[in-house]
Amino acid sequence: MARRSQGIIITDKYQMRTWARSMRHNSIALVPTMGFLHDGHLSLIQEAHNHAQLVVVSIYVNPSQFAPSEDLSTYPSDFDADIRKLMTVPGGVDVIFHPHNLYDYGVESAMDCAGMANVSCLEESGSGHETWVRVERLEKGMCGRSRPVFFRGVATVVAKLFNIVDPDVALFGKKDYQQWRIIDRMVRDLDFPVKIVGFEIVRDADGLAMSSRNVRLSPIERQKALSINRSL
Ligand code: AMP
């Protein structure tokens, strides 16, 4: 199938699944993102073309991986700019999957999690979602210590994306090393028919790993952040 330089935007998970099924004679690579794309994302997306015939990029800020005390409501986003950036990727992308809400089941919930420890923004909102994927040992250390619901939310949303897009391969940045290892373990343990590819860290000229949240760093904080890379 010929590559399109700009893909179609799908916002409905049922349409996404229908598209994926209609393309089943091609291999599909999925690159899950939360948007506010930078060159690290774009390199990862370009790499996806080396692993499959079709490339799907998801842009979704996943509420289940944010605790109520975290920055869900202020997480940076600029969908129009993301589209423009995606159009610069050599080979383009075939689908931009941009669901508005992956947890809207039209269910009324009596859940009230306000003030409870170890709940996500999703539970606090009482969406009615109550099934979680946990990679029990790997989620506990490193970032998991300070963010107790983070990896549970990541593993769950990635499992949902795999069920919706049914990719042959999915790519994750080693910048989020623990996340990459957790997804790899989830795929092995739950027999998802998906190959997980880890991609090298893309850095700015000063050595800082590119990240959507870097826009929030003051010059002093940026210098402090650089000490992590330098000490490594
Ligand atoms: P995010 O939008 O931050 O959830 O990131 C989406 C994907 O892009 C994840 O697999 C990240 O690990 C990956 N990624 C983000 N920044 C970089 C980077 N600087 N280098 C390589 N991969 C990255």
- Residue 47 CB less than 6 A away from ligand 1: no
**CB-based contacts of 130: which residues, under 8 Å, 6+ apart?**
none
pLDDT (tens digit per residue) in 111-169: 666 566 689 999 988 888 999 999 999 999 999 999 999 999 999 999 999 999 999 99
Asked if 25 is an active-site residue, the reply is no
In 3-state terms, what secondary structure has residue 212? Answer: helix
- Residue 34 CB less than 6 A away from ligand 1: yes
CA 3 to chain centre: 23
How many angstroms does the Cα of residue 168 sit away from the middle of ligand 1? 19
Atom of ligand 1 nearest to the CA of 212: 3
Q: Give residue limits of the domains in the chain.
A: 2-201, 206-232
- Residue 33 CB less than 6 A away from ligand 1: yes
Instruction: Tell if the pTM clears 0.85, that is, is over it.
Output: yes
pLDDT (tens digit per residue) in 29-52: 999 999 999 999 999 999 999 999
Q: Which residues sit opposite 60 in a β-bridge?
A: none
Atom of ligand 1 nearest to the CA of 37: 2
How many angstroms does the Cα of residue 151 sit away from the middle of ligand 1? 15
Residue with the bigger pLDDT between 102 and 3: it is: 102
Q: Please name the helix (run of DSSP H) or strand (run of DSSP E) that holds residue 171, with its range, or none.
A: strand 169-173
Residue with tokens 């250390």, as numbered in its chain: 141
Is the confidence at residue 3, as pLDDT, over 50?
A: no
Residue of 92, 4, 75, 8 lying closest to 36 (CA atoms): 75
CA 20 to chain centre: 18
Local confidence band at 71 (pLDDT 50, 70, 90 cut-offs)? very high
In 3-state terms, what secondary structure has residue 8? Answer: strand
Task: From residue 7, give the alpha-carbon distance in Å to each of 96, 121, 167.
Answer: 6, 31, 16
Cα 174 from Cα 176, distance rounded (Å): 5
How many angstroms does the Cα of residue 108 sit away from the middle of ligand 1? 34
What is the arithmetic mean of pLDDT over 73-83? 96
What is the arithmetic mean of pLDDT over 211-225? 94
- Residue 173 CB less than 6 A away from ligand 1: yes
- Residue 45 CB less than 6 A away from ligand 1: no
pLDDT (tens digit per residue) in 167-214: 999 999 999 999 999 999 999 999 999 999 999 999 999 999 999 999
Q: What are phi and psi of 11, to 5 degrees?
A: -110, -10
| CATH node for 2-201 | 3.40.50.620
